[in-house]
Structure 1
Amino acid sequence: MEIAWSLVLFTALTGCGGWLFAGVAIDEFAKKTSKANFTAGIVALVLMIVGGVASVTHLAHPENMLAALNHPTSGIFIEAVLVGIASAFIIVYLVAYNRNETVRRVCAVAGAVVGVALSFMAGHSYLMDAVYTWNTMLLPLAYLGTAAASGLSAYALVAAIRHNETTPADLKIAFILLAVGGVAAALTSLLYLTGVMDAADLMLVAVGAVAVGGIVPLACGIAGLKAANSALVLSVVATACALIGAICLRCAMWMAYVPLENFFGIAL
């Protein structure tokens, strides 16, 4: 099946933004990379907006988007609402950043929860009985895992940039999160792709999703804990690879499209 690039970008970018803001929420309590949080919030908001715009292009015409939003039970409606809510919490967080710590923390946690939920629901929307290779909970879990790697890598990158004049120990939590994201991406991508990868043309994107998108960020996270002076380079590599892996996983989903009718030789 032809890859729907607008949806690939939508899910990859908003997932990255949601998990990037999750890094902000975690540090609101850890208080290790606080210098990065305002900047990270801005980046997360931009990712949400750009990702949302990308999704609109899939519907070709504005009237199609409005029609889709008239159905509250549809995946498009749920995703649009989650993008809007997450963006609203991020905006309030940024406004309250230097004004009210309680409001800031509440918005950070709430925005992170919604953003993480969005990364899962973006994959859950594809679950349907008519498509054999999509109808598995491993798919939204893979969306969640790859988004975790890209978002937490991006948070480590912002932290490395903003903390370039502070002690390397401040970045430890960011690289722990990065390593955890790498594990999540590698495992969830492998589990999903193992079940659907029965064609040679999926091998390249499978390697991209598992090795490039998961194992490389994991290695960068571990290396960052031991060589914090290389934090900026490691986080750049991790972010780039995690995003590539997230895109590869989503491309693999479209390439592995197998409608149930294929098993019966009839059109359902």
Structure 2
Amino acid sequence: MGMDLILICFAALACLSSGLVFSASFLQLKGRTETIGALQFGGALLLITAAGAMGLVSLGRPEMFLGALAHPGTGIFFELIGTLLLCFGAVCWLIAFWRDSSETILKFFAVFAAAGAVCLLFGVGRSFVMPWRETLNSWLVVPLFFIFALEAAAFAYAAAERAIDKEFQSGNPALIFSLVGALCLGGYLMQIMYSSSNDGKEAALSVLTGEPAVVFWCGVVVIGLMVPAVLACRKLGKIPFRNAAGLLAAVIGSASFQTILLVIGTASWQFFKR
């Protein structure tokens, strides 16, 4: 359980830090070089550092992390490259911001950090695409981590705009992200449920109605997808702590989905073990 908890925390921190980077990068690309952007880049840097430390712990031996460079295409390879690119881009942006550099340089490092976040999220999802495991033989796992990160980014960006302009009101794309996430999640479950193996069918039914169902329905569906969709409504724009609640919901959703993947990847007989 200890190792599973590390992987769950890593996924949640990866999604949250990527969301902050996406938000700060979008803010920078709009020409809004603000202190709130520096705070988001700084927060993302701290979070991804913590996530990287957890990644080292999960391997048992730190030197194994560098061994990922010898296996391009694997999930851990993309996680390593993405983490390094994100950290490098965020650090360079913060230095450039502190030195009052030109907007072109700031935009370059913002895009660089965002590219690292994309690579990191792909690696998190790629780690759970396993063709030899019927329950994990689906690429629909990958976009779901992007969905949770983009939900976090949407609320982080709204919070940044509100910090700059107290009267800021705009539509929140988290509603669209949630709908796309629901389609990907449904497609993933349908794919493994109607697979040729009984393991896939039993695992999918267990997630929907068995012991993992509480985490799935409450953590992934309700908190991770439905809550951000509701909070994204324009009419709720003035609710206190709305953006913080949406950000937290996205993080919980990513952690819950990672939990489901860890459960669904176990042997089907364990679901019915007495």
TM over 0.5: yes
Paired with 1:46 and 1:27, the residues of 2 have a C-alpha distance of 19
TM-score under structure 1 length normalisation:
0.82
Query: Which residue of structure 1 aligns with residue 113 of structure 2?
Result: 111
Percent of residue pairs bearing the same amino acid type = 23
For structure 2, the 5+ residue unaligned runs are 193-203, 270-274
Count of residues paired in the alignment: 252
Query: Which residue of structure 2 aligns with residue 46 of structure 1?
Result: 46
Paired with 1:39 and 1:184, the residues of 2 have a C-alpha distance of 29
CA positional deviation for 1:12:
2.1
Paired with 2:65 and 2:120, the residues of 1 have a C-alpha distance of 18
Paired with 1:37 and 1:180, the residues of 2 have a C-alpha distance of 24
Opposite residue 234 of structure 1, the aligned amino acid is: R
Paired with 1:128 and 1:26, the residues of 2 have a C-alpha distance of 33
TM alignment of 1:126-141, pairs within 5 A: 126-141=128-143
SS in 2 for 1:129: coil
Q: 1:131 to 1:47 in 2, by over 3 A?
A: same
Paired with 1:139 and 1:91, the residues of 2 have a C-alpha distance of 30
Query: Which among 205, 230, 251 is matched to residue 198 of structure 1?
Result: 205
Paired with 2:220 and 2:189, the residues of 1 have a C-alpha distance of 9
SS in 2 for 1:229: coil
CA positional deviation for 1:156:
3.4
Paired with 2:254 and 2:176, the residues of 1 have a C-alpha distance of 15
Query: Which residue of structure 1 aligns with residue 198 of structure 2?
Result: none
The answer (yes or no) to whether the contact 2:9–2:51 under 8 Å persists in 1 is: yes
Q: Deviations for 1:204-257, whole angstroms, at most 9, x for unmatched residues?
A: 1221212210110111121xx334432x51112111111111111110011111
TM alignment of 1:159-178, pairs within 5 A: 159-160=161-162, 162-163=163-164, 166-169=165-168, 172=170, 176-178=172-174
The answer (yes or no) to whether the contact 1:148–1:185 under 8 Å persists in 2 is: no
CA positional deviation for 1:33:
8.8
Opposite residue 79 of structure 1, the aligned amino acid is: E
CA positional deviation for 1:125:
2.4
Query: Which residue of structure 2 aligns with residue 149 of structure 1?
Result: 151
Q: 1:190 to 1:212 in 2, by over 3 A?
A: farther
Query: Which among 185, 188, 201 is matched to residue 184 of structure 2?
Result: 188
Query: Which residue of structure 2 aligns with residue 22 of structure 1?
Result: 22
Q: 1:117 to 1:94 in 2, by over 3 A?
A: same
Q: CA RMSD in A?
A: 2.7
Q: 1:26 to 1:65 in 2, by over 3 A?
A: closer
The answer (yes or no) to whether the contact 2:76–2:123 under 8 Å persists in 1 is: no
Paired with 1:124 and 1:63, the residues of 2 have a C-alpha distance of 21
> After alignment, is 110-119 or 240-249 more displaced?
110-119
Opposite residue 99 of structure 1, the aligned amino acid is: S
Paired with 1:177 and 1:46, the residues of 2 have a C-alpha distance of 26
For structure 1, the 5+ residue unaligned runs are 263-268
Opposite residue 254 of structure 2, the aligned amino acid is: A
Q: 1:55 to 1:17 in 2, by over 3 A?
A: same
TM alignment of 1:203-242, pairs within 5 A: 203-207=213-217, 208-222=219-233, 225-230=234-239, 232-242=240-250
The answer (yes or no) to whether the contact 1:93–1:108 under 8 Å persists in 2 is: yes
SS in 2 for 1:168: coil
Paired with 2:3 and 2:149, the residues of 1 have a C-alpha distance of 19
Query: Which residue of structure 1 aligns with residue 200 of structure 2?
Result: none
TM alignment of 1:77-116, pairs within 5 A: 77-97=77-97, 98-116=100-118
Paired with 1:210 and 1:189, the residues of 2 have a C-alpha distance of 9
The answer (yes or no) to whether the contact 2:130–2:136 under 8 Å persists in 1 is: yes
